[in-house]
Amino acid sequence: MKKRSTTPSILVGDIGGTRTRLSLYDGRGKTLLLEAVLPSREHATFDEIALRFLSSASHPHPTVAVLGVAGPIRDRVATVTNLPWKLDERQLARKLSIPEVVLANDLAVAAAGCLHLPAEVALALDDRKPTPKGNHMAVIAAGTGLGEARLVWDGSKHLVLPTEGGHTDFAPRTPLEIELWHYLSNRFPDHVSYERVLSGDGLGALYDFFASRGGREPRAIARKLEQGDRNAAIAELGLARAYRPATRAVDLFASIYGAEAGNLALKELALGGVFVAGNIARHIVPARRELFLEGFRKKGRFSALMSTIPVVVVTDPLVGVRGALAMARDLIAAREGASPQPKRAVKKTVKKAAKKKRSG
């Protein structure tokens, strides 16, 4: 039997409506020991995934876990927005036999990761680089849901604060978008939010809107959309300008995404920069940067100010892992009475990020 290492380890996780990623690192957070990416909806609870993952490790049990959760967290309990899961820090610590478990909003974790990005995974849309020191910043990410988070400068460091701003009301800007709102209100009579437009099946909804205004869908297009990931197929067709409804859907998606990123920048006065993360950003935003930036900057009397705010696309799919590791290292440093590394929030900040809830 393989002998287990005696070096402490760190568990970090990214719990989303589609996939759950778990990673086990050494106690310094430098070396990846074990990793798994599992489909969330195929498991009844997070405990089921975590216990199976930990039991497969030939390494010591972790002493701390930081788990990013796609949903609000209140009183140390997280509700996953697009899954019937509830996670409780205290229960998880007991069930997983981990002394310290911290649940943090997934965008708060990603935001923490944005503070530690190497230059090669940060694509500036207009060649302006973020200016973190002395400025607030913001993070937005469209995926299964639409996440938004704040990086608030407190005079010496950034405090990471989650929001649920993706659930704010979708605000049409043009006659076409007013028509889109009416179309979506029939599909989602409870609430038409930015998340309904920009995440999950949002791109598919935009495609359906434009397809309903045109002629009959060609059989070849219908077959392509029936195979595999429908949204990915629409994005491929739209980016290649291979089918007009898909092209218009991608273009409008980029414009509305830019507009909401600009709304976030205004609400947070994020003069230091806005980070755009998530799989959709990596594929669509750079290809439609002009439309995105036009939507971002077109804010009437504040258009000139908006043109000075850096916008950066995060091309690193593991930015959340970076953030979770930074948080975990701060927890360990605080527990051991050491000073955290520069630019990292102390334990109090991590707890704030884990507990604060902003719903829209």
CATH number at residue 83: 3.30.420.40
Give percent of the chain above pLDDT 90.
Answer: 69
Q: Is residue 338 part of a domain?
A: yes
Three-state DSSP at 86 gives strand
Domain that holds residue 44: 9-112+317-355
Q: What pLDDT does 7 receive?
A: 61
CATH, residue 196:
3.40.367.20
Strands 100-105 and 122-124: unpaired
Structural domain total, the chain? 2
Q: Is residue 295 part of a domain?
A: yes
More confident position, 228 or 103: 103
Q: What pLDDT does 338 receive?
A: 52
CA distance 158 to 152: 5
**Same domain, residue pair 292 and 337:** no
Q: How confident is the model at residue 343 (pLDDT cuts 50, 70, 90)?
A: very low
**Same domain, residue pair 323 and 280:** no
**Same domain, residue pair 54 and 190:** no
Q: How confident is the model at residue 204 (pLDDT cuts 50, 70, 90)?
A: very high
Q: Is residue 107 part of a domain?
A: yes
Question: Which residue in 346, 331, 358 sits closest to 154, CA to CA?
Answer: 346
CA distance 55 to 308: 50
Question: Residue 134 above 90 pLDDT?
Answer: yes
**Same domain, residue pair 82 and 182:** no
Q: State pLDDT tens for residues 113-124.
A: 999 999 999 999
More confident position, 72 or 351: 72
**Same domain, residue pair 306 and 327:** no
Q: State pLDDT tens for residues 280-320.
A: 888 999 999 999 999 999 999 999 999 999 999 999 988 99
Q: Is residue 100 part of a domain?
A: yes
